[in-house]
Structure 1
Amino acid sequence: MKTAEIARRYLSYFEKNGHTIVPSASLVSDDPALLFTVAGMVPFIPYLRGDVPAPYVRVADSQKCLRTNDIEEVGKTPRHGTFFQMLGNWSFGDYFKEGAIAYAWELLTSSEEDGGLGFDPKDLWVTVYEEDDEAHDLWLRLTTLPEERIQRLGKDTNYWSTGLPGPAGPCSEIFFDRGPAYGIDGGPATDDDRYVEIWNLVFMEYEITDVTSKTDFTIVGELPAKNIDTGLGLERIAFIKQGVDNMYETDQVRPVLDRAVALSGKAYGADHTDDVRFRVIADHVRSSLMLLADGVTPSNEGRGYILRRLMRRAVRAMRLLGVDGPTFPELFTASRDAMKEAYPEVADDWQRISQYAIAEEETFLRTLASGSTILDLALDETKRSGGTALAGAEAFLLHDTYGFPIDLTLEVAEEAGLSVDRDAFDTLMKEQRERAKADARSRKRAIADVSVYRALRAQGETVFTGYTDLETESSVLGLLVDGQSVTRAGQGQIAEVILAETSLYAESGGQVADKGIIVGPGFELDVLDVQRPVAGLVSHTVEVRSGEVGVGQPATSVVDAVNRRAARQAHSATHLVHAALRDTLGRSATQAGSLNRAGYLRFDFTWGQGLSEATRTEIEEIANNAVRDNLEVTTRTMSLTEAKELGAMALFGEKYGDTVRMVDIGGPWSRELCAGTHVSSSAEVGLINLVGESSVGASNRRVEALVGLDAFRELAAERAIVSQLTSSLKTPRDQLPARIAELAANLKAAEKKIAQFEAKALGDRLPALAETAQRVGAMRVVAQSLGTAASADDIRTLALQLRDRLGADAAVVALAADVNGRPVVIIATNEAARAAGAKAGALVKTAASILGGGGGGRDDVAQGGGTDVSALPAALSAIAGALEGAAA
């Protein structure tokens, strides 16, 4: 039974049993405490917790999930994967334990002919929370399970939460017994791979806080309603129904594994270590594909870092299988073909996805090449110094700074006949993880407790009237001060105000919040920010300018009309620039983030190289032509399906419900899903002036533009500068570039002549400097300050010439100078001096420590510097002292 068919049967069964079927939410979680959707319940947390009224009483879905906390187990067990799909059925205050158990048992044990999954009851075991007598008794009454196949387990396995404050409750898990060939008898309590957990029924009853571990938390009370949250592991059901040993061999994953086998020339099943690598590749490529499809891009922080880590682990595994060249074009294609039946978007958006994947692999292969060079130098230095193990700090630097994997460091070191100080490396890694955990804990603690909005949201959604009205009369539904509900707020206080209706736009879709005021009888409030803390609820952060505001009072929201007009111009201009980019660069130039505020827009898009000046001009001209043509701007509300059929583009990072708002500018030329405020015709935008284009990561570019009056002011300022230049240089405007280039060339030539004169002047000092040589033991030493010098290179040249002038006897030259206000010391030693123990690198560190800086180099020549020019004489004296000590 194919994976997609299992999901179809599941959803069909629950649809027949009164459940609303909803699509999967994005892997990018809305919860600010989570990077990803780590479990099927995450999108439903606001409903489970009661913060937002659920739009349905029972629902079922197939949810994309991603977890990396067990990443080291991937490939080693039959069930650990980073990307997985969770089939779930949910009840929000409707059926509870009895209904959940009855549904699960019927679907699992009904025959395939009747639409079920066809499991034999004799192969199933169940666990319940040790204190949950009700669940235990229901399993006995509703199913054919004997007492001995219902096991009671503790909180660590049978009490479920996200690991964060929020909903939780006891759970009951269903296991499939793979048979004695896979392990020992004794049921799930043995924690053996023989028993595969396939379905978890969570009975959400409580809200928890103070979460420090899976078993250490505080129950703060019952949820407003008892809820059901279940999760059926799609990959686990698939490998059982398909008769394979693990999830990596199922129909959605195996094609990638097979392609890796073909590329490596090695056999799957012949070597355990290689098999683990094949499975890692299959899992990580699929996970990366799905993350890219949901808009995540490789980077060095947050979600992008996790994606980068997955992709680089796959590259590393291919390398350890003997493949050094690019493999992603083939591996990702295999994954796309395996996943597109369930997720058509991986094929529809293939050009963008593959562009990121290929670019990331190319980058990492270059990293491996440069890391290998750095590692080779470090290994050579270790051997030269007589060491037998590469320092743990060196290995950690390669891993942390250059992204060079530790296992490759171990492998290369072993080939060089050296070991690695793994204990020191592991200590540094542990310290880094502890810092990361501390940051994560701090971030979790910083997340606002949204339960305070629960009662306010229960009164209904905040009605936004701002598309048509700049002023709206309403009433104060709630007030919050320092996160606590209050009845009144007085002059000077910062508070959150919840209104029944508002004309003020809450930040979303790249558009910043409106500016404005809220007024009522005896009070006036300055609006500092407008946000949606929970879905459907708008909160206004205000400062009470005068009077006192109270719950229940009438209040009128007033939008700053000038700021709103400029914000509308910028948002509509963003759509025009997006359309112009696609006209110029093609459909693969899609949005990857945006920001628009009054007079300014920033637009990120997928593209692998910088834009030429001609291309930028063309994009700017197309966008301004659209302004000139006075295109009609229309908005329509429709179903998401209908909007997609009409070709509307969804904006990066936005979440859409079943009903969406589509904005057209010039009909289909610019057609996007957008909840922002817009002009009524493109001519109202006024003017678009592209002022910047830059890189924001691999395969991502950013354009910035000023809009409307701000664009005019920028052009006027540039005109004033041009006018000043034409006047100062007495050159017509059209000849300015040539005149400025001529002046720059003359300046460069003059600087070159000055440098030549200075270098000659230094060279002329050679005889006099040689005369200053002093005997220190068997060595001749010159330690002199040159005063000022144009560059460190000039000092280095002079030091080497002076060393050669002193002949074959042991000689050390230490020259210092003030270079552009900073002290520089160059030390050069000849072969005889080095044999006598004078090493330039060590000597320069002595000097640099006095100068308040650092330095280094080879034994024959080294350079140091610092911040204290006045300390140059002391630094030179320290060098002489060090040589005297060595001579003694």
Structure 2
Amino acid sequence: METAEIRRRWLQFFEGKGHTVVPSAPLIYDDPNLLFVNAGMVPFKPYFLGQATPTFTRATSVQKCVRTGDIEEVGKTSRHGTFFQMNGNFSFGDYFKEDAIKFAWELLTTHQSQGGYGLDADRLWPTVFESDDEAYAIWKDVIGVDAARITRRDANDNYWSMGVPGPGGPCSEIFFDRGAEYGVEGGPAVDEDRYMEIWNLVFMQYELSAVRSKADFDVAGELPRRNIDTGMGLERMASVLQGVDNLYEIDEVYPVLDMAAEMTGKRYGANSGQSAASSHPDDVHLRVVADHVRSSLMLIGDGVTPGNEGRGYVLRRMLRRAVRAMRLLGYADPALPHLVPISMERMSQSYPELKTDFARISQIAYAEEEAFRRTLVAGTTILDTAVAKARQATDQQAGSDKPVLTGDQAFSLHDTYGFPIDLTLEMAAEQGVSVDEAGFRRLMDEQRQRAKADAKAKKAGHGDVAVWTQLREAGATEFLAYETLQAEASVRGLVANGSAVEQLEPGQSGQVVLDRTSFYAESGGQIADEGIIVTPAGRLKVVDVQRPVKGLIAHTVEVLDGPVRVGEGVQTQVDPEWRISACQAHSGTHVVHAALREVLGPSALQSGSYNKPGYLRLDFAWNSALSPETRSEIEEVSNLALRRDLPVAAQYMTLPEAKEWGAIALFGETYDEQVRVIEIGGPWSRELCGGTHVAHSSQIGALTLTGESSVGSGVRRLEAFVGIDAMRYLAKERALVADLTSMTKAQPGELKDKISEMLTRIKDAERELARLKQQQMAAAAGSLVEQAKDVFGVRFIGHHDDAIDADAARAMATDLRAKLGDATPSVVAVGGVSKGRPVIVIATNAPAREWRVKAGDLVKVAAGVLGGGGGGKPDLAQGGGQDASKLGAAIAEVEHTVGRTVTN
């Protein structure tokens, strides 16, 4: 049975049991504590925590999930994977243990011809929490499972919580016996390889007051409404029903692995009698490719783009690990164009949007592979330099062993250049150099600890929602921003420093929660409104507006005068100039997006935006810079839309209806069952959006593109001004043109040619100056050679000139050394000034180095006098410092050091 069919049967079964089918939420979810959705219940957390009330009492879903905590273990075992799908059925105060167990048993054991999965009931082993007699009795007496196959387990295995105070409860897991070839008899408590967990039923019935660990918690009492949260791993069930060993061999994953094996000339499992247990490097690499290609496909599909932090870094790491694994398998050419389409074909059976959006997805993936291939070239050069330094350090330390690349160098290659440690280890070994892997791991661990501390701090800043949850229980904030700029309201709550207070005094800052508001709360790329709240005793300046929990709006304010108290009547007053400028910017973003797609095609899809009064920026999928002509065309299409005075309208509908209507759902956004679609000019622009907008496109006024740049692999950014800010920008450019025409005595139309002509003359003059300078240096070199000193048998030239920069100093030093020849030991020290700082270059010939006179040692002496540092090779080294007036003293100290070296 194909995975897509297993998924379809799940949803069909539970829909038939009265469950509302809830589509999978995007992997990017609006939760500050999560990088990605990592469990099927995540989209339902607000319901379980009491932060929101569901419109249904029964729900079912197949949720896309990504977990990256064990990314280093991917491929090494048959269990670890990054992307997976979790089938879930949920009850919110409706059915409980008995029905949840009955549903699971029915679906698992019903014959496939009747819509079930057709598993042998005698191969199913339930487990229950050690003290959950109720669940045990249901399995034994209602379902009829033999008591010998029902296992009681402790809280480490069969109790669930969110890890924080809140709902929790015992679990009942269902295991499938895969047979004697997978391990010993005795049930899941004995062997969880043979007995594979396929379903977990969580009975959410208690309020936990403290959670110290998975098995150590305090139970405050029963929940007022008992809930069910179940999860069945789709990939695990697929491996069971398809008769394969592991998730890498199911129909949605194996075709990529098979293609990777064909491309590299490898045979999966060839080095082991059973591929599931094989840890041969080739099999590990093939599994890494299969897993990471699929995960990357799904992440890009949900709007993640490669980057250097957060979600983008995880995606970049997986793409590069896949490319790296192909390289280790012997395939050096671009691999993703062969692999990603195969994954798309398999996954699009369940997620057809992957096929629709494949042009954008593939563009981003292939651009990242190409960027990594360039990184490999650059990183190899950097690695070669580091290896050379390691060899040099070994040469200078008598009795030292094999050259060692330090942990700092390996970490820098990994952290700064994206060079994987395994690649560093491999290439260093090829050159006979070992790597301080322990030092690298220590630095990596320190980085992880910093990241955890940052994440903990971030979580602390967002995680304590108790005060907001209590305020939300009094009711949702009525949102009036679409209808009016002013509203009468009452103060429902005040918060200062994270705690509820009864009043805020003049000079204090805090948050104000009202029963209704005309202020727009920041979301969808649009920043919050500014304005004031008028109270009976004074005014509050509104500096930010956010939604700390769903349905609740909090205004961050500065109390200008008069205290504000809970229960008082107030008036919200949005700054009208702020709002109209914000509307112009947000509608302008939609216009630019539509113009972009008209000019570049549908794959140029928005991946992020930000707009504030007068300004907008839009990130979109594209892997090359836009030409000036293309930017001009986008700007022209946008302004033609403004001139046509297109109507702007908002309509409400269900998400499926909106998608069928052609509305674009933007990445990273989560949507309710009813969505708001903003339409500009009918089908020309239809997007799901919760922002504020103008009524007609002409009200945007004017739109001027001001910049286009790269913000990551396959992602470009457009910036623009709108309205009066666009006019001000153009006025500044006009003033600049006027100044240039005045300075050059040319007409505006002649400026380009005039400036080009001037630049040509400047370049010619610079070349002539450089030629004259070289002539002067050559003449001076002859004189300096004649004046070379004898320092205990070493011919020494010391010269400094403030007119010499670093490049000239290096050229002069090497030229003088060549003129001195190799007949006798020679040392040259040339000083100059570069960007206001002293620079010194020292060159030695071979006879001097035989006398232990090395440039690298001498330049450190000179740099010490100059108040700086330096280094280099024994034959040529460069240093610098802070005080150019000490160049003469530095060269004199070099001369003395030469004498001391040859006489000791």
Letter in 2 for 1:258: D
1:807 CA drift (Å): 3.3
1:624 CA drift (Å): 0.9
Out of 343, 349, 352, which is 1:341 matched to? 349
1:364 CA drift (Å): 1.4
Percent of pairs with identical residues: 55
* Residue equivalent to 1:400: 415
* Residue equivalent to 1:470: 485
Secondary structure of the residue that 1:636 maps to in structure 2?
A: strand
Matched-pair contact (CA < 8 Å) for 1:53–1:457:
no
Letter in 1 for 2:372: F
Matched-pair contact (CA < 8 Å) for 1:49–1:223:
no
Matched-pair contact (CA < 8 Å) for 2:804–2:832:
no
1:792 CA drift (Å): 1.2
Answering whether residue 240 of structure 2 is matched by residue 226 of structure 1, we say: no
Matching of residues 784-803 of structure 1 within 5 Å:
784-786=799-801, 788-803=802-817
Matching of residues 758-769 of structure 1 within 5 Å:
758-769=773-784
Secondary structure of the residue that 1:198 maps to in structure 2?
A: strand
Answering whether residue 686 of structure 2 is matched by residue 689 of structure 1, we say: no
Computed over aligned residues only, the root mean square deviation of the Cα atoms, in angstroms, reads 2.4
1:366 CA drift (Å): 2.1
Distance 2:626 2:588 in 1: 19
* Residue equivalent to 2:312: 304
Answering whether residue 645 of structure 2 is matched by residue 637 of structure 1, we say: no
* Residue equivalent to 1:362: 370
* Residue equivalent to 1:557: 572
Out of 562, 576, 580, which is 2:591 matched to? 576
* Residue equivalent to 2:23: 23
Letter in 2 for 1:795: A
CA 1:839/1:285 → structure 2, altered by over 3 Å: closer, same or farther? same
Letter in 2 for 1:823: P
1:539 CA drift (Å): 1.4
Letter in 2 for 1:783: G
Letter in 2 for 1:281: V
Secondary structure of the residue that 1:426 maps to in structure 2?
A: helix
Secondary structure of the residue that 1:765 maps to in structure 2?
A: helix
Answering whether residue 834 of structure 2 is matched by residue 819 of structure 1, we say: yes
Answering whether residue 681 of structure 2 is matched by residue 666 of structure 1, we say: yes
What's the CA shift string for 1:3-48, capped at 9, x where partnerless?
1222222222222222211000111121101100011111111111
Distance 2:304 2:165 in 1: 26
Distance 2:881 2:613 in 1: 46
Letter in 2 for 1:506: A
Larger displacement relative to structure 2 (416-425 or 512-521): 416-425
CA 1:492/1:381 → structure 2, altered by over 3 Å: closer, same or farther? closer
Answering whether residue 196 of structure 2 is matched by residue 196 of structure 1, we say: yes
Distance 1:395 1:129 in 2: 47
Matched-pair contact (CA < 8 Å) for 1:371–1:398:
yes
1:512 CA drift (Å): 0.9
Matching of residues 510-659 of structure 1 within 5 Å:
510-659=525-674
* Residue equivalent to 2:398: none
What's the CA shift string for 1:504-557, capped at 9, x where partnerless?
111111111111122233342211111111222211111222222222222222
Larger displacement relative to structure 2 (793-802 or 125-134): 125-134
* Residue equivalent to 1:237: 237
Distance 1:381 1:490 in 2: 64
Answering whether residue 67 of structure 2 is matched by residue 67 of structure 1, we say: yes
Matched-pair contact (CA < 8 Å) for 1:462–1:500:
yes
Distance 1:376 1:569 in 2: 54
What's the CA shift string for 1:68-116, capped at 9, x where partnerless?
1122332233332110000111122333333323322232233323332
Distance 1:830 1:518 in 2: 79
1:210 CA drift (Å): 8.0
Matched-pair contact (CA < 8 Å) for 1:633–1:666:
yes
Answering whether residue 26 of structure 2 is matched by residue 12 of structure 1, we say: no
Secondary structure of the residue that 1:847 maps to in structure 2?
A: helix
1:301 CA drift (Å): 0.8
Matching of residues 257-336 of structure 1 within 5 Å:
257-271=257-271, 272=278, 273=280, 274-336=282-344
Distance 2:857 2:438 in 1: 28
Answering whether residue 789 of structure 2 is matched by residue 781 of structure 1, we say: no
1:478 CA drift (Å): 2.0
Secondary structure of the residue that 1:447 maps to in structure 2?
A: helix
Secondary structure of the residue that 1:407 maps to in structure 2?
A: helix
* Residue equivalent to 1:842: 857
Distance 1:580 1:307 in 2: 29
Matched-pair contact (CA < 8 Å) for 1:851–1:868:
yes
1:167 CA drift (Å): 4.5
1:830 CA drift (Å): 0.8
Matched-pair contact (CA < 8 Å) for 1:35–1:302:
yes
Secondary structure of the residue that 2:712 maps to in structure 1?
A: coil
CA 1:476/1:765 → structure 2, altered by over 3 Å: closer, same or farther? same
Secondary structure of the residue that 1:297 maps to in structure 2?
A: coil
* Residue equivalent to 2:147: 147
Larger displacement relative to structure 2 (46-55 or 296-305): 46-55
1:597 CA drift (Å): 1.0
Matched-pair contact (CA < 8 Å) for 1:74–1:82:
yes
CA 1:352/1:220 → structure 2, altered by over 3 Å: closer, same or farther? farther
Answering whether residue 459 of structure 2 is matched by residue 454 of structure 1, we say: no
Matched-pair contact (CA < 8 Å) for 1:45–1:167:
no
* Residue equivalent to 2:274: none
Larger displacement relative to structure 2 (873-882 or 810-819): 873-882
Letter in 1 for 2:559: V
* Residue equivalent to 2:99: 99
Distance 1:265 1:242 in 2: 26
Matched-pair contact (CA < 8 Å) for 1:846–1:878:
yes
Matched-pair contact (CA < 8 Å) for 1:169–1:203:
yes
What's the CA shift string for 1:218-269, capped at 9, x where partnerless?
7787766432211111110110011111111111111111111221121122
Matched-pair contact (CA < 8 Å) for 1:533–1:539:
yes
Distance 1:562 1:345 in 2: 40
* Residue equivalent to 2:114: 114
Q: TM-score, normalised by structure 2?
A: 0.93
CA 1:56/1:687 → structure 2, altered by over 3 Å: closer, same or farther? same
What's the CA shift string for 1:258-293, capped at 9, x where partnerless?
111221121122023222222221111111100010
CA 1:588/1:814 → structure 2, altered by over 3 Å: closer, same or farther? same
Matched-pair contact (CA < 8 Å) for 2:26–2:668:
no
What's the CA shift string for 1:554-608, capped at 9, x where partnerless?
2222111111111111111111111111111111111011111111111111111
Distance 1:235 1:427 in 2: 35
Distance 2:37 2:312 in 1: 15
Matched-pair contact (CA < 8 Å) for 2:90–2:230:
yes
**Unmatched 5+ residue regions in structure 2?**
272-277, 396-400
Secondary structure of the residue that 1:517 maps to in structure 2?
A: strand
Secondary structure of the residue that 2:424 maps to in structure 1?
A: helix
Distance 1:448 1:405 in 2: 34
What's the CA shift string for 1:306-330, capped at 9, x where partnerless?
1111111111111121111111112
* Residue equivalent to 1:351: 359
Matched-pair contact (CA < 8 Å) for 1:49–1:224:
no
Secondary structure of the residue that 1:827 maps to in structure 2?
A: strand
What's the CA shift string for 1:615-671, capped at 9, x where partnerless?
111111111111111111122111222221121112232212221111111111112
Secondary structure of the residue that 2:545 maps to in structure 1?
A: strand
Letter in 2 for 1:792: A
CA 1:715/1:224 → structure 2, altered by over 3 Å: closer, same or farther? farther
Letter in 2 for 1:498: V
Larger displacement relative to structure 2 (110-119 or 204-213): 204-213
Matched-pair contact (CA < 8 Å) for 1:355–1:699:
yes
Letter in 1 for 2:371: T
1:729 CA drift (Å): 2.9
Matched-pair contact (CA < 8 Å) for 2:183–2:191:
no
Aligned residues: 887
Distance 1:220 1:297 in 2: 44
Distance 2:233 2:369 in 1: 31
